[in-house]
């Protein structure tokens, strides 16, 4: 159940509360990505300490490894990964279309071969929902088709119609105990297709709605337009989820556009490359000018990494390839994302979100080398 608690007077930002079988999610909220049942380098205790209320895992990858037999024997994904709080599972459709070596789209699903060993699989609405029942996720996503951003109008139209057809089939499948199901809106940057898909998916009646087909290689202005084309057709009384987004600056702008939930691999991915997010942009910790820098990653940050270690020490860890370095940057980056969400919730509640949005935009310098990523970890 989703409760809309407050809307911002100057923007479309929303304060809400999503109640699931395993806990309450305060929105806006960011979901750390644990594609294969683990958020890279972080354990469940650390995730809770930095404010994570929900994580995301992926149907495709968990079906390939370790496989449903193991997950069923282990009592589902929560028990398997030692996380007792809410989990959202992607249906696997994006990975099938982006990772599978060979695929053949049929009316009832997709035949494909694993990107790992070429093993044959079939994924349709029935299979996607069955896998998510076995996983026991609190929120299951319908199977959709996510074409490339530069596809032809004909391909985009066919993907929308197939997405609607598959969503209808997913809607009729059995669910796990207390499991919610979210519909997904496709349509690229075609306003008519976005409206067509949104209206049809909403008419089916889901627990929440996701905006798909964004962060798939398109320029940022097109991504924002796709969100703006979709949001007006989503019901205010249901939670809204933008899939695979984004950088800190993008998250602020997307909250201002009425989105409630987010996921992205960037916080842990760029951490493994020696880059940290800050309120002013990115920081390359491996840079030579940090070799004797006594400051934390970010002044004023309360995460464990910033309370404990200097930039000089973290740079040293990367230089000698000690795993603690990338773990601490992952802690910091995820903490920053979750603290940013908490601050936006506070500012919406206080009625000062628009002021916060302006202040954040003035101080944040986007990096040309860091883009939102809806890729698997």
- Residue-wise pLDDT tens for the chain (377 aa)? 999 999 999 999 999 999 999 999 999 999 999 999 999 999 999 999 999 999 999 998 899 899 999 999 999 999 999 999 999 999 987 777 776 667 888 899 988 887 778 888 899 999 999 999 999 999 999 999 988 888 999 999 999 999 999 999 999 999 999 999 999 999 999 999 999 999 999 999 999 999 999 988 899 999 999 999 999 999 999 999 999 999 999 999 999 999 999 999 999 999 999 999 999 999 999 999 999 999 999 999 999 999 999 999 999 999 999 999 999 999 999 999 999 999 999 999 999 999 999 999 999 998 877 765 554 56
Q: Distance between CA atoms of 221 and 257, rounded to whole angstroms?
A: 13
Residues 67, 102 share a domain: yes
Of 211, 242, 265, the residue at which a domain comes to its end is 265
Structural domain boundaries enclosing 343: 271-363
Count of domains forming the chain:
2
Provide the whole-model pTM: 0.96
- Please indicate, yes or no, if residue 375 is contained in any of the structural domains: no
Residue 148: its pLDDT value, please? 86
- Please indicate, yes or no, if residue 33 is contained in any of the structural domains: yes
Q: Distance between CA atoms of 83 and 43, rounded to whole angstroms?
A: 9
Residue 372: its pLDDT value, please? 55
Residues 157, 220 share a domain: yes
- Please indicate, yes or no, if residue 121 is contained in any of the structural domains: yes
What number of other Cβ atoms are within 10 A of residue 187's Cβ?
24
The CATH number of the domain holding residue 56 is 3.20.20.105
- Please indicate, yes or no, if residue 376 is contained in any of the structural domains: no
Residue numbers annotated as active site: 90, 263
Of 265, 298, 318, the residue at which a domain comes to its end is 265
Rounded-to-10 torsion of CA 193, 174, 92, 239: 60
DSSP string, 337-355: HHHHHHHHHHHHHHT-HHH
- Please indicate, yes or no, if residue 258 is contained in any of the structural domains: yes
Residue 155: its pLDDT value, please? 93
């Amino acid at each position: 159940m989703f409760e809309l608690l407050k809307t911002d007077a100057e923007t479309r930002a929303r304060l809400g509360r999503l109640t699931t079988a395993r806990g309450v999610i305060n929105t806006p909220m960011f979901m750390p990505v644990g594609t294969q049942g683990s958020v890279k380098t972080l354990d469940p205790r650390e995730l809770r300490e930095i404010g994570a209320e929900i994580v995301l895992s992926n149907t495709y990858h968990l079906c390939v490894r370790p496989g449903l037999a193991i997950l069923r024997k282990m009592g589902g994904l929560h028990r398997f990964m030692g996380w007792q709080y809410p989990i959202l599972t992607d249906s696997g459709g994006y990975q099938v279309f982006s990772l599978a070596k060979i695929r053949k789209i049929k009316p009832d699903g997709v035949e494909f071969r694993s990107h790992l060993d070429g093993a044959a699989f079939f994924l349709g609405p029935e299979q996607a929902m069955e896998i998510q029942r076995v996983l026991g996720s609190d929120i299951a996503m319908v199977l959709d088709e996510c074409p490339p951003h530069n596809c032809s109008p004909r391909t985009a139209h066919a993907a929308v119609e197939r997405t609607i057809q598959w969503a209808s089939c997913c809607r009729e499948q059995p669910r796990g105990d207390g499991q919610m199901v979210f519909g997904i809106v496709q349509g690229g940057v075609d306003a008519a297709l976005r409206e067509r898909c949104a209206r049809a998916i909403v008419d089916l009646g889901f627990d929440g709605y996701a905006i798909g087909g964004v962060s798939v290689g398109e320029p940022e202005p097109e991504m924002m337009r796709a969100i703006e084309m979709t949001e007006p057709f989503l019901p205010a009384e249901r939670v809204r989820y933008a899939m695979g987004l984004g950088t800190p600056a993008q998250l602020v702008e997307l909250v201002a556009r009425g989105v409630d939930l987010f996921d992205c691999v960037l916080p842990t991915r760029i951490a493994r490359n020696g880059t940290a997010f800050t309120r002013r942009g990115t920081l390359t910790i491996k840079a030579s000018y940090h070799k004797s820098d006594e400051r934390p990653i970010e002044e004023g940050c309360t995460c464990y990494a910033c309370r404990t270690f200097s930039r000089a020490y973290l740079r040293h860890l990367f230089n000698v390839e000690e795993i603690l370095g990338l773990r601490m940057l992952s802690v910091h980056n995820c903490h920053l994302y979750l603290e940013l969400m908490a601050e936006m919730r506070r500012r919406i509640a206080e009625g000062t979100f628009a002021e916060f949005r302006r202040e954040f935009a003035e101080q944040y310098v986007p990096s040309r080398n860091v883009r939102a990523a809806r890729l698997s970890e």
